[in-house]
Amino acid sequence: MGKTEDGELLTAPPFTAIAGLAVPIALSSLLEQLYNMADSIIAGNFLGENAVAAVGASFSLCNVLVYAALGCGIGAGVLTARRFGEGARDEASAVIWTSAALFTLTGTAIGVAGLPLAEFILEALGTPAEATAPSRGIGPRSESLP
């Protein structure tokens, strides 16, 4: 999709407008799948089957967080679109910046809280101790890690 003019999404033919929205979403899904494949391949080839088990165990939790963020992003997009449609560009800009700040703070808080809680969370998910051992520096492959 090339450079667009303001309001083109509202006046473009429906297929063009929908494709302009769908293509970035499809590309992000493709990149997410490629990342998951690479994660499993690297863990399996360099860290062993327990690391692959740990990646699989944390996958569902990561998906919950990703989809919660996606839902919040869609909500922020709706608010932004509504303000933009009303012609209140300053308010739309305020929604964008407030959402960006909120997402940054929330993501940072989840990251900071997630590190010390990771072992507890994996245990709560029923992950076998053998699968979480490499993350704690315990196990046969931990001494060979860079």
More confident of the two residues 134 and 107: 107
Q: Round to whole Å and give the CA distance between 17 and 62.
A: 31
pLDDT averaged over every residue in the chain: 80
DSSP string spanning 23-76? Answer: HHHHHHHHHHHHHHHHHHHHIIIII-HHHHHHHHHHHHHHHHHHHHHHHHHHHH
Contact at 8 Å (CB) between 132 and 119?
yes
Prediction pTM value? 0.60
Q: What is the pLDDT of residue 16?
A: 82
In the predicted model, what is the mean pLDDT of residues 86-100?
Answer: 91
Rg (CA), the chain: 21
Average pLDDT for residues 54-76, to the nearest whole number? 83
In the predicted model, what is the mean pLDDT of residues 119-146? 66
CA dihedral 39, 121, 75, 15 (to 10 degrees): 30
Tokens in use for 87? 């012609």
Most distant CA atoms of the chain, gap in Å: 62
